[in-house]
Structure 1
Amino acid sequence: MKRTVFLFLFLSGLFFYAQNQRIAYEYKYKIDSTDKDKTETELMLLDITPKGSKFYSKDYFESDSLMTTTIEKQAKSGNIDLNFSGFKFKGKIRYSVEKAYPAYSVNFFTTLGSDEYMVQDDRVQSWKILPEKEKTGNFTTQKATCTFAGRKWTAWFITDLPVQDGPYKFHGLPGLIAKIEDEGRTHTFELKGIKKLPDTYDWESKKNKKRYNPLITLNETKYKKAFNDFRSDPMKSERQMMAEGIVIDDSGKPVDPEKSRRDEEKKMKDKIKRENNPLELDLLK
């Protein structure tokens, strides 16, 4: 079945360009540079529509949608004490990337602690297209390289699918990116499947999502400062919530503020210590 889908789209580039499509990528990454043997894997989706694209984790999106539905159902029932006991988010990748066509303007959505950010990224990816070609799945792809976010990247793109898009923030090549990896091969995205979405499909930007706290909008430079401030003091926003007496556990029940602070601070600092190989390496510089 997968072979049929690939072949059909390979022969129908213009059809592909005009339709709503979902591209599945396998993302393999090493988040801890000191642990060379441990590789994480996540299935990522790139939804392409005539007006733009959205890139996100399949598992996390499904968990987030389920959580939203649960909240709405409990709210409609008149229950003000929301109960999330037993609920566990799937997926390790919590960010998403939106690109608006035809300018391919990039918005990066992520969280640092309890704060949610929309980062407007105007950096240009200057690609060098090379003559080498290879097979990726059922497609013939062409090689290209660029330096972006502190890393050297090698991409293989499909000229027969004339969409200048790809996984994460990558775009600008004359064809869909089928595979891209950094020089050290610690971050790799590889196309695993394509399917047509219904003509009625129309995703809504995450910036329009209902939220309890305001979305913080920053440019890339200011986000870099916020990122490093968070790494230095990951409990800052939580301390502010504790000062307001807002401390709950995963089930929504109140807990001892001081114990919660100590436990969470240790947990977060250990996690940050391990996350020393982010995709955007220049965030640490």
Structure 2
Amino acid sequence: MKFIIFFLGMSTFCFPQKISFIYETKCKVNSEKQDDVYSENMILDIKNNISIFRDSLDKKNDSIKLNHGNGRYNMGVENKFYVKKNLAQKRIEKVITYLGTDYLLPVEEILNWNITSEQKLIGKYKSQKAETHYGGRNWIAWFTTELPFADGPYIFSGLPGLIVSIQDLNNEYSFNLIEVKKGGTIFDARKKTVKIDWKKYETLAKSYFNDPFNINSKGWKTATFTDPKGNTVDISVKNKEIQNSILQKNNPIELNHKINY
């Protein structure tokens, strides 16, 4: 029997101890190249209905930032997977760090879950199938009540158990649980944020595309950099490389917010 669970009506679980779930994340960033797949382990930290999902570099840089250091954040605006959730308040927010500013993008698209009767064993966890639509994509998820958290990787949450595996129907994005760690502390280094919407997000992305090194705001008419061989190269060459890279990564996870440069 199938039934619908609406995200806004979901209850949450409270677990006083901090716990981390490691997900193998795979993304097909170019829809025209079958072998252009980006893979990285990402971390979901949960404690007391608060969670943060981020890649290992972001977590490391957050720790450095909290200790008054300077982290090395990835350039650009697109293809960022940093997500904060308040499960009790049903609040989901993406965080995009750009030019030293942390931008907060609320995710207001509601996840309407269709839970099916289909079950299977994933790793050691008895899991059940659920389906939803998000970001212009259809998704298949497997959750387990053996891990009593109404959460999952990226923005996905609201099921009566942890999502251990989820992928879109085109097999272009997938998140699979590979490890569970207990203990430690959950820390948030990006509390001072500027709230934006998807329109402003697009403006920031186009600003980066047009001026990756932000030389226009510095009043520079030209600039150079030194390549690994010690050669001096005009910044316009590097700009072109970055722009071509952005154009190649033409398959964002939120297809309904794809940017046309």
**For 1:194, what is the secondary structure of its paired residue?**
strand
> Aligned pair 1:120/2:106, yes or no?
yes
Cα distance change on mapping 1:142 and 1:230 into 2, 3 Å: farther
Over aligned residues, Cα RMSD in angstroms?
A: 3.6
**For 1:118, what is the secondary structure of its paired residue?**
strand
1:146·1:153 contact (CA, 8 Å) conserved in 2? yes
**For 2:59, what is the secondary structure of its paired residue?**
helix
Q: 2:23 — aligned with what?
A: 25
Q: Which amino acid is the alignment partner of residue 225 of structure 1?
A: E
Q: 1:56 — aligned with what?
A: 54
Q: 2:252 — aligned with what?
A: 278
> Aligned pair 1:39/2:26, yes or no?
no
Match of 1:240 among 216, 220, 240: 216
1:114·1:237 contact (CA, 8 Å) conserved in 2? no
**For 1:243, what is the secondary structure of its paired residue?**
coil
Cα distance change on mapping 1:271 and 1:112 into 2, 3 Å: farther
Cα distance change on mapping 1:119 and 1:88 into 2, 3 Å: closer
2:83·2:92 contact (CA, 8 Å) conserved in 1? yes
> Aligned pair 1:222/2:222, yes or no?
no
> Aligned pair 1:133/2:119, yes or no?
yes
Q: 1:12 — aligned with what?
A: none
Cα distance change on mapping 1:143 and 1:227 into 2, 3 Å: farther
- Structure 1 residue 228: Cα displacement: 5.8
Output the TM-score relative to the length of structure 1: 0.72
- Structure 1 residue 259: Cα displacement: 2.4
> Aligned pair 1:206/2:206, yes or no?
no
Cα distance change on mapping 1:202 and 1:222 into 2, 3 Å: same
What is the 5 A alignment of 1:34-183? 34-62=32-60, 65=63, 71=69, 94-111=80-97, 116-183=102-169
1:113·1:234 contact (CA, 8 Å) conserved in 2? no
1:25·1:45 contact (CA, 8 Å) conserved in 2? yes
Output the TM-score relative to the length of structure 2: 0.78
- Structure 1 residue 51: Cα displacement: 4.0
Q: 1:79 — aligned with what?
A: none
1:29·1:40 contact (CA, 8 Å) conserved in 2? yes
**For 2:96, what is the secondary structure of its paired residue?**
strand
Distance of 1:217 and 1:267 partners within structure 2: 30
Runs of 5+ consecutive residues of structure 2 not aligned to the other structure: 1-12, 227-231
Distance of 2:204 and 2:135 partners within structure 1: 14
Greater helix content: 1
Distance of 2:174 and 2:106 partners within structure 1: 23
- Structure 1 residue 33: Cα displacement: 1.1
Runs of 5+ consecutive residues of structure 1 not aligned to the other structure: 1-14, 73-83, 209-214, 251-255
**For 2:29, what is the secondary structure of its paired residue?**
coil
**For 1:42, what is the secondary structure of its paired residue?**
strand
User: Which has more radius of gyration?
Assistant: 1
- Structure 1 residue 245: Cα displacement: 8.5
Tell me how many residue pairs correspond in the alignment: 242
In the TM superposition, what whole-angstrom CA distance separates every residue of 1:73-108 from its partner, at most 9, and x where no partner exists?
Answer: xxxxxxxxxxx9xx897xx97541100130230111
Give the percent of matched residue pairs that are identical in Structure 1 and Structure 2: 26
Q: Which amino acid is the alignment partner of residue 157 of structure 1?
A: F
